[in-house]
């Protein structure tokens, strides 16, 4: 257990061999996936609908303006399309292949009533697919309303855990709305990255800086009560508060 006054910083892992903070757990093997966070297969929705997505397996978002290698990429939404047969060919630009090359984590669906199959796929700065994708999600659009799609989007961040009581390891997911996520090293204007501060009831504090565009982590702190605070750090000026921080509490069981 860390002493009550301990303050330990760590960069979240993305590359193999990166040392984890003691309160972090290794990413479970075989979990690299681009996925939907607020929509499940079989659901019926009305549009416009704010669709949110996440990224697992230690992968991070990187806008295409300054391409990076390694475990980085940007999201694509496939509408009524299967995964490409050739992963060495760039993805096309059309209404069935929607690109999010700025590092976005969401989009507003404006689909007409009908049934659809949706799928997420990660690709690199040249739009070449990675083997990081979601399962096909089948939905029904029951109605299209006159709501202005822009009215559904506001700048902010969210911190998500599956419940107040947790056993280790447990996943913590981050979301950015109206914001673009990137690697800090890209130094791209109007982008940021997540920073998570985990504070124990006894006073120990751990800061985890996700400078490689990660949008989730796994935690395994000792049993006890914790406060989790999520911030969004500007990649040009780290001292600038882009949006307000969000917090939640969890109790880690023995």
Helix (H) or strand (E) holding 229: strand 224-234
Rounded to whole angstroms, what are the CA distances from 170 to 7, 37, 81, 159, 232? 22, 16, 33, 13, 21
The pLDDT value given to residue 135: 95
The pLDDT value given to residue 3: 32
The pLDDT value given to residue 11: 44
Helix, strand, coil abundance in the chain, percent, nearest 5: 5, 45, 50
The pLDDT value given to residue 14: 40
The pLDDT value given to residue 18: 56
Which regions in the chain score pLDDT beneath 70? 1-19
The residue count of the chain comes to: 254
């Amino acid at each position: 257990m860390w002493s009550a006054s301990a303050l330990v910083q760590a960069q979240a892992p993305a590359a193999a061999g990166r040392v984890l903070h003691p309160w972090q757990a290794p990413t479970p093997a075989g979990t690299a996936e681009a996925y939907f966070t607020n929509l499940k297969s079989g659901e019926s929705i009305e549009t416009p609908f704010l669709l949110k997505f996440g990224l697992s397996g230690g992968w991070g978002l990187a806008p295409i303006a300054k391409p990076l290698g390694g475990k980085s990429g940007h999201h694509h939404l496939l509408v009524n399309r299967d995964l490409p047969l050739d992963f060495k060919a760039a993805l096309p630009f059309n209404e069935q292949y929607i690109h999010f090359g700025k590092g976005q984590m969401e989009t507003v669906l404006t689909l007409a009533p009908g049934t659809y199959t949706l799928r997420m796929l990660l690709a690199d700065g040249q739009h070449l697919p990675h083997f990081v994708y979601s399962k096909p999600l089948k939905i029904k659009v029951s109605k299209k309303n006159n709501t202005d799609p822009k009215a559904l989007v506001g700048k902010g961040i969210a911190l998500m855990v599956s419940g107040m009581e947790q056993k280790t390891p447990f996943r913590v997911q981050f979301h950015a709305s109206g914001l673009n996520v990137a690697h800090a090293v890209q130094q791209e204007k109007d982008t940021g990255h997540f920073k998570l501060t985990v504070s124990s009831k006894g006073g120990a504090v751990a800061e985890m800086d996700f400078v490689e565009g990660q949008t989730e982590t796994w935690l395994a702190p000792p049993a006890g009560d914790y406060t989790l605070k999520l911030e969004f750090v500007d990649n040009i000026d780290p001292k600038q508060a882009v949006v307000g921080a969000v917090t939640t509490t969890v109790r880690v069981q023995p």
